[in-house]
Amino acid sequence: MKASVMPHLSSRILSINGSGSDGWGVFYRARAMVAAGEMVTELTIGEHDIRTHPAILDAMHRAAQAGHTGYATIPGITALRDAVAARITRNTGIPTARENVLITPGGQSALFAAHMACCNPGETALYIDPYYATYPGTIRAAGAVPQAIATRAEDSFLPDYDRISDAALAHGAASLLVNTPNNPTGVVYPRSTLEDIAHAALDHDLWVISDEVYETQIWEGAHLSPRALPGMDQCTLVVGSMSKSHAMTGSRIGWIVAPEHVIEKLSDLATNTTYGVPGYIQDAAVFALAQGAALEEEVAAPFRRRRALAMSILEGQNVVGHIPSQGAMYLMLDIRSTGMTGEAFANALLDTHRIAVMPGESFGAAASGHIRLAMTVADDSFAVALQTLCSFAGMLIPSDFAPA
Ligand code: PMP
């Protein structure tokens, strides 16, 4: 008999998290303080301070009671695929049919499925730094190799043609993941940036995976999907979600919009992984989408208000800089005048004032010297926290600092 040894875990799963300090220690410390009964103002995670609308929950309950609790059809129920297709056609002008839509358990699984569809094992998948924290791990989970394209605070963290093109050439990349409105920066990509992305994608045969989960949270400018640019509907996979637009984070409901042949293959993947999304959740999603823009605006309104509050507070000082806050539920602040890293500042702010923010470093090297605030607490607490943060930063600046 062979001596018994432990079977090994796959290198794929062992490598998902990557290595190195990622600045999430501040978040876990804040959570531990809250668990120990301390009062902490948590401006860390992108989750609304309101719940899913009761009318959506009623629709979910009715659907479950009506028996929609069995397996649902795999690409998604017809009514929901049609509703998503109609919404995308209306918003982008690009004709989109049911066959272009796969319903997924949230945007996160859509990001994973999209990379599974676009990248062979070992191929490079590009993404823009700063980035939503799961991106590199999602790419590694799909067996591809993540490669960040750095951007600069001075350029509002926008990528450009040369940076994308150079990275695509250097790595023979298969895909490029972009996100507008952007988490963590709050920037909405202008048309010129999207045109750069489209040109680079077409020049280098890249799939564009376009994460548009914040499309309903626009404070300035307009949301433009790269899929709407000439030639791009054939090489773009759009990731959508009802988590942010309808405060349905826990319902796990989202989609991929892509060329029909891609959706067919993604359906094969879904059959062999998720086996679809619960029917009663999909029915609730159909109901929610049918409520139109009014409900989406109601969900976005608290962030719109707090963002306006933040602008008035930030205008009154010259210590903390900010990246243009045009969309999504976040503010990216530049605290480089304090001479501290984002992580050191966030730790000091937590210790001194019991205010928890995310270090920019948690979202990539490009965002070092920055912090991200989620505008997810009541207006008055948010305003007090931001004012406190600004005065704290003011006390930390070296005496030789001259504001620009
Ligand atoms: N993309 C971005 C940029 C996000 O911020 C999030 C959630 N925070 C997701 C995707 C995933 O969202 P969900 O899986 O809840 O749809």
pLDDT tens digits, 194-249: 999 999 999 999 999 999 999 999 999 999 999 999 999 999 999 999 999 999 99
β pairing state of 254-257 and 321-322: unpaired
Please give the mean pLDDT across all residues of the chain.
96
Task: Give distance in angstroms: CA of 328 to centre of ligand 1.
Answer: 11
Residue 117 shares a structural domain with residue 216: yes
- Compute CA 288 distance to the chain's CA centroid, rounded to the nearest angstrom: 21
Residue 268 shares a structural domain with residue 389: no
Contact residues of ligand 1, CB 6 A cut-off: 46, 106-108, 132, 179, 183, 211, 213, 241, 243, 249, 254
- Alpha carbon distance 126, 132 (integer Å): 13
Task: Give distance in angstroms: CA of 106 to centre of ligand 1.
Answer: 8
- Alpha carbon distance 242, 253 (integer Å): 6
Task: Give distance in angstroms: CA of 107 to centre of ligand 1.
Answer: 6
- Alpha carbon distance 182, 389 (integer Å): 23
Residue 391 shares a structural domain with residue 329: yes
| Shortest-distance atom of ligand 1 to CA 107 | 16
pTM of the entire structure?
A: 0.96
Asked, for residue 310, whether it belongs to a domain, the answer is yes
At 105-131, the pLDDT tens digits run: 999 999 999 999 999 999 999 999 999
Residue 229 shares a structural domain with residue 123: yes
Contact status, residue 165 vs residue 200, Cβ threshold 8 Å: yes
Last residue of a domain, one of 291, 322, 352: 291
Which residue range(s) make up the domain with 254? 70-291
- Output the CA–CA distances (angstroms, integers) from residue 298 to 35, 53, 301, in the order listed: 31, 10, 5
Backbone angles phi, psi at 66, to 5 degrees: -80, 0
β pairing state of 207-211 and 175-179: parallel
| Shortest-distance atom of ligand 1 to CA 249 | 15
pLDDT at 222: 96
Q: Find the mean pLDDT for residues 311-317.
A: 94
Last residue of a domain, one of 269, 291, 313: 291
At 136-193, the pLDDT tens digits run: 999 999 999 999 999 999 999 999 999 999 999 999 999 999 999 999 999 999 999 9
